[in-house]
Each structure stands twice: as C-alpha cells, then as structure tokens.
Amino acid sequence: MYNLLKGKKGIIFGALNEQSIAWKVAERAHEEGAEFVLTNAPIALRMGQLNALAEKTGSQVIAADATSLEDITALVEQSMEILGGKIDFVLHSIGMSVNVRKKIHYTDSNYDFTAKGWDISALSFHKVMNVLYNKKAMSEWGSIVALTYMAAQRVFPDYNDMADNKAYLESIARSFGYFFGRDHKVRVNTISQSPTPTTAGSGVKGFDGFIEYAEKMSPLGNASALECADYTISMFSDLTKKVTMQNLFHDGGFSNMGVSDPVMEKFE
C-alpha cells in the first residue's frame, strides 16, 4: 500500500455487496489510509451486506435516498460531523433502470420508469454536488468521481435507457465540474469502466456477451472491479490534482478499437 489517502475523508455511495465496484473502492480507500462514510438507499441496505463492509473498514453507514435533497443534506451534515471536517473525496456509484428491470424495450419505454431511472442514475449526481457545493462541504483539491459506461457514446442495444442516463451523467460532470473547479478548487470526473459483473450490470440482457466481446476487443482485456477501484483511488489522491471535467476510459483499450484479430477470427 502507498498511503495515498492518508488523512483524507470521504463519502462512498452505492456499495451493495462484494461484487460492487464501490465495495472494492471502500476496501482500497481503507487500505490507503482514508476514513469515510458508506451510504446507500434504505431498500439497498436491506438487500445488501453493507454492515459487514462498515465493520471491516471501521466506517459508519448512513441510509440516504440519493434522489432526495433532504436526505443528501442530512447525509453530508452527518458525514462532516462523524469525520470531523470537510470531505476530500466522493464516489457516486449509483445506477438503475426500471425499464431494464421490467424488460421493456427501448422503443416502447414506460416514461414514468424512464424518469425514475434518470433521477436515480444521473440527476442524483447533480443533487449530490448541489448540496456539497452550496454547503462548501468539500476541501480544496477534493475529488468527486462518478462511474459510467461507454454506452453513453456508442450504441449497445440492450443497455436501453441506461445509455441516456450515463450520457446525462457525464454532461453533469463537465458542467458542474467547471463551477466546482472555479469556485472551490474541486475536481469532478467520470470513469468509464469495462463491463463488470456487478449486481446492476448483470441485469442487462446479454450482459455475458458484452463481457466476452469486450474482452476479445480490448488489447489489455477487461478491467476488473478491483482494478477500477485502484484507478478511482488514484483519482482521489493528490497525484491527479489537475484532472477535472474528464470522462476517463478504464477499459483495457476497448474505447479506441475498431476491430481486433480475435473478433475477426469469428467471421473468417
């Protein structure tokens, strides 16, 4: 370990179980010397095993609905009280599509479901930063990271309206990143991760095919959840103080590929 986050304090949204990228980030942040609060929606806390992670990392768990400004405000205030000061890093690892869960095709969306998924997956990022910004809760040179996927730029038919949510999420990072950087010297970025077998990702139709295809397309292969956690830790650290408003591809090179030899072999 490198003590990259020694003395730093944070909030980690979205850990559910050991498959979660947020779970791995929490483990790695703890190993690198950070203190943090873990948070998820009340229903997710009932479904997951977050208390085990809290015990392992010496953290406290605060239930919060990330679509509620009231809940986020209470979360930020309690976190600053628990941690004894301002926040140095925040991870937004939240995503859910009701249309995907209900197996409703993109061309026949239920728009109430669309709005709900957008609120949870994308607008919640704006709401979290709204509270952090207006309460001046972030330390100078703090770091805010949200997790995304390349379906924001390219078509993956079965990714459904989550692709739209991720595109909106990435736009928020750029737009809010300007104001956060200008006014509070805080950086805001998104990490576009390889398809990863998490609880959320596995709910997408054909997800196993996504993973196999990406593995064959990427010169370095798919990035694992733990490798994503390592990259996220580097973005929380002081080594990346001037990186902001970026969508950072962490995908083994997939995002720059047209076609690979292993994929071509399938057609020859």
Reported pTM: 0.96
Please check whether residue 208 lies inside any domain of the structure. yes
List the domain range (segments joined by +) for residue 53: 9-265
Q: How far apart are CA 263 and CA 217, in angstroms?
A: 7
Pair of tokens at residue 209: 């095919």
Q: How far apart are CA 73 and CA 130, in angstroms?
A: 9
Q: Is 166 annotated as a binding residue?
A: yes
Please check whether residue 2 lies inside any domain of the structure. no
Please check whether residue 140 lies inside any domain of the structure. yes
**CATH number for the domain including 106?**
3.40.50.720
Please check whether residue 94 lies inside any domain of the structure. yes
Alpha helices per DSSP H over the chain: 21-31, 42-47, 50-57, 69-83, 98-101, 111-118, 124-134, 162-184, 207-217, 225-236, 261-265
The one-digit pLDDT tens for each residue of the chain (268 residues) are 899 999 999 999 999 999 999 999 999 999 999 999 999 999 888 887 999 999 999 999 999 999 999 999 999 999 999 999 999 999 999 999 999 999 999 999 999 999 999 999 999 999 999 999 999 999 999 999 999 999 999 999 999 999 999 999 999 999 999 999 999 999 999 999 999 987 666 666 667 788 999 999 999 999 999 999 999 999 999 999 999 999 999 999 999 999 999 999 988 8
Please check whether residue 3 lies inside any domain of the structure. no
* Overall number of domains in the chain: 1
Yes or no: say if 71 and 7 are a contact pair by the CB < 8 Å rule: no
With vertex at residue 253, the alpha carbon angle to CA 166 and CA 232, rounded to the nearest 5 degrees, is 55
Phi, psi (deg, nearest 5) at residue 91: -110, 125
Q: How far apart are CA 66 and CA 119, in angstroms?
A: 9
Yes or no: say if 222 and 194 are a contact pair by the CB < 8 Å rule: yes
Please check whether residue 21 lies inside any domain of the structure. yes
Please check whether residue 1 lies inside any domain of the structure. no
Q: Is 21 annotated as a binding residue?
A: yes
Q: Which residues are catalytic?
A: 149, 159
Please check whether residue 120 lies inside any domain of the structure. yes
- The DSSP code for 159 is G
